[in-house]
Amino acid sequence: MKKILIIGIGAGNPDHITVQAIKALNQVNVFFLMDKGTAKEKLLQLRKEICAQHIQHANYRFAEAHSPELVIGKPDLHACVTELNRDKQRVFEQLIADEMADGECAGILVWGDPTLYDSSIRIIDAIAQSGRFALEYEVIPGISSVQALAASHRIPLNRIGQPVEITTGRKIAAGFPEQADSVVVMLDADDGFKRYADQDIDIYWGAYVGSPDEILISGKLKDVASEIERVRAEARQRHGWIMDSYLMRRGNSDKQD
């Protein structure tokens, strides 16, 4: 039997690692690292630094493989992601076959929390269900970028008694959720917040949250939308990649924070 631990490692701060995650790290024989190119080499290095900081023995190793990339721009996003996950599944299957002995434990380190806009659970579950390997897996939660964003801005995610919705850039471009007073937006490649710059909305934006490169901007959207767009573009150019999210909240005076 082989075992895989899908471990949430937080949004970028090594101190985001939970005690449960530290215990899980110390069970792992081999960590699967998916290489996404030189622009994201820093993310790979941060994973290795987290292991060095929290693992209390030297009997672990890394197995790196090139990560398939999502093709941006196709109209059917679901089909694109399904195809991407199939490609990733083949990579993980090869790693399991080549890099793990029977009885060993592998670790997959997931930024933030594995249950939020990440496909690692789906992929590993599909492998386990296929019957190709004698395989079991566990999921260890982590501090998500959503939690880290709110903490960095020192705000609650929702107003008292009101809902908050977590959505994507594609969805927010189609309209503000009708039933939501507050909305957290992730995976927004096209600055979807700009659509609402003429409305009474507050925004709390953050990039590289929890890391030394953290950038935070907040205020009335009409006042800071252009600044966020500029700073976001500059940060992407400087680092070669960007991880950001934001909370938008309708400015309704009869609803209290």
Strand partners, 227: none
pLDDT of residue 254: 47
pLDDT of residue 39: 56
- CATH fold of 2-140 reads Cobalt-precorrin-4 Transmethylase; domain 1 (3.40.1010)
pLDDT of residue 253: 42
Chain-wide mean pLDDT for the chain? 91
pLDDT of residue 70: 72
Query: What is the three-class DSSP state of 115?
Result: coil
Whether 114 and 141 have beta carbons less than 8 Å apart is answered as yes
Q: Residue 143 is which amino acid?
A: I
The reported pTM is 0.90
**Distance between CA atoms of 118 and 109, rounded to whole angstroms?**
11
**Distance between CA atoms of 193 and 171, rounded to whole angstroms?**
11
Residues 231-255 pLDDT 10s: 999 999 998 889 999 999 998 644 5
CA-based torsion, 113, 119, 122, 125: positive or negative:
negative
Q: Across the beta sheet with 201-207, what order do the strands follow?
A: 164-168, 182-186, 244-250, 201-207, 215-220
Q: What are phi and psi of 92, to 5 degrees?
A: -65, -40
Angle at 207 between CA 205 and CA 210, to 5 degrees: 110
The fraction of the chain above a pLDDT of 90, given in percent, is 76
Query: Domain 145-250 is of which CATH architecture?
Result: 2-Layer Sandwich (3.30)
pLDDT of residue 256: 57
Q: For 43-54, what is the mean pLDDT?
A: 90
Q: Where are the domains of the chain?
A: 2-140, 145-250
Residues 107-159 pLDDT 10s: 999 999 999 999 999 999 999 999 999 999 999 999 999 999 999 999 999 99
- More reliable by pLDDT, 35 or 175: 175
- Residue 73, phi-psi category: left (phi > 0), alpha (psi -120 to 50), beta (remainder): left
Count of C-beta atoms within a 10 Å radius of residue 11: 27
pLDDT of residue 69: 78
- More reliable by pLDDT, 44 or 73: 44
Strands 2-8 and 105-110 come out as parallel
Is pLDDT above 50 for 198? Answer: yes
**Distance between CA atoms of 13 and 231, rounded to whole angstroms?**
21
